[in-house]
Amino acid sequence: MRLNASIDVARFLLTSGFPFRGHDESEGSKYKGAFLELLNDIVEACAKETTKAITEDLDGDYFGILVDESKDVSHKEQMALILRYVNKRGMVIERFLGIVHNTIGASFKRKDSLRQHQEDKLEELLKFGEVHTGQGLNQERGLQRPSDTHWGSHFKTLDNFLILFSSIVNVLKDMKRDCPYHLDRFVAENLLSKIHEFEFVIMLHLMFKVLLLTNELNKVLQRKDQDIVNAMGLLDLSKKRLQMMREDEWDSMMDEVSLFCGKHGISIPKMNEGYYNGKSKRKRSNISYLHHFRVEVFYAIIDLALQELNNRFDVVTSDLLLGMTSLSPVDSFANFHKDRIMKLAEYYPSEFGNKELREHNFQLDDFIVYAQKCDSKFLNLKGIKDLAKVMIETKLDQTWSLVYLLVKLTLIIHVATASVERAFSSMKYIKNDLRNRMDEDLLNGCLVC
């Protein structure tokens, strides 16, 4: 009776994400001996049964695995494994399989101080007519930590930093003057010195512009209902805009930086003088400030961004994404493109040899005519997921087996890391600030369930 009750309670806690041992989930907590061992055994058994159920549902079919990592609440690197497959009913299934800004944002008092300086600045701007009131205008901004798994957060952080610069300076001055601890005063003084350097300001503006040019692409790739054709268009646009920025926008950016420096009392070095790295003003290098900022910073960062986009979206990736889009049934297969679909199939040589590719070519011709003109069930589908389910329901997966195979292979391709981000969000519920000492086995068992 006690064992059954313990299992029932453990199952309830696992499905609810509740703690087992209060706020302390570590091995060194007050719960000792047989009870602790039994509890860990129950969690492990539940995790194994959950994994077994997933394996049986998979039934030896094709699957994709996406791996990513992030820091948990105790700053340990955790790895998430996401399994993606299509079940026997044509439904896409995703499972969580395993888990093998700081100075100002750290204090409520400093946050309040930042908010007050922001309000005072806004009142001053309103008084002189530099900003206007109205619904949705001049909303309160704050500094947020950029997220490791949310690309757009870095752009938003830099945007807010530029707008709140004077308020941030005032808060740091208050810290430098009023903080009771010497270390806090030292940190504030050091940060004040850093953010008033010309090199910091030019980097702030440069990174803001680079992230601005890729922000729309980032937002599209983060969406669950991804429009790949639109995403590929935005990819090309981002690369062209970065190249245009590299070739034509140095002077305009320098004008913005100079205006910003003049507004906030930041000294601008003479660009024809020899650059020094900050260690000693007496030891100047053979290159000028202009060469350093334009070639070693401006060009180098833009080239790095372009190279990263080319690496992440190479020819193979582009072929895969465009082939996926060409299979989409949206608007009666409006994006259907036979050559792209055949190119997609060629990337699976184990499944599509010469004989299969030839047969697949014929099946595509028959399938698209049937789907567009002969069966109304294919008219209002919203995506490839719906296409797979309808093919199973109508048993057309057997008639055009190679078409369905490619649809299934397409569905298990991970286009973005949204699933992993949701998994990491779950991890923060399980291992939170009050339970940050739980061991890896218990964390893994809880998350699998």
* Per-residue pLDDT at 127: 46
Please report whether residue 297 resides in a domain: yes
* Per-residue pLDDT at 277: 67
* Per-residue pLDDT at 385: 85
Same domain for 176 and 155: yes
* Per-residue pLDDT at 131: 40
Q: Which two tokens stand for residue 16?
A: 């609810």
Cα separation of the two ends of the chain: 23
* Per-residue pLDDT at 418: 61
State the sign of the Cα–Cα–Cα–Cα dihedral 190, 191, 192, 195.
Answer: positive
Q: Is there a contact between 210 and 302 (Cβ–Cβ < 8 Å)?
A: yes
Supply the range of the domain harboring residue 371.
315-411
Please report whether residue 213 resides in a domain: no
pLDDT tens, position by position, 257-298: 999 999 989 999 999 988 876 555 556 668 899 999 999 999
CA 43 to each of CA 11, 32, 38, 40, 122: distance values in angstroms, whole numbers, following the listed order: 8, 16, 9, 5, 54
- Residues lower than pLDDT 50 in the chain: 101-106, 108, 122, 125-142, 149
**Whats the size of the chain, residue-wise?**
449
Q: Is 133 exposed, middle or buried (0-12, 13-18, 19+ CB in 10 A)?
A: exposed
Same domain for 362 and 321: yes
Same domain for 349 and 293: no
* Per-residue pLDDT at 431: 75
Please report whether residue 251 resides in a domain: yes
Please report whether residue 207 resides in a domain: no
What's 294's DSSP letter? Answer: I
pLDDT tens, position by position, 21-42: 665 555 555 555 566 677 788 8
pTM over 0.85: no
Please report whether residue 114 resides in a domain: yes
* Per-residue pLDDT at 257: 93
Burial 415-426 (b: 16+ CB within 10 A, else e): bebbbbbbbbeb
* Per-residue pLDDT at 283: 60
Query: What total of structural domains would you count in the chain?
Result: 4
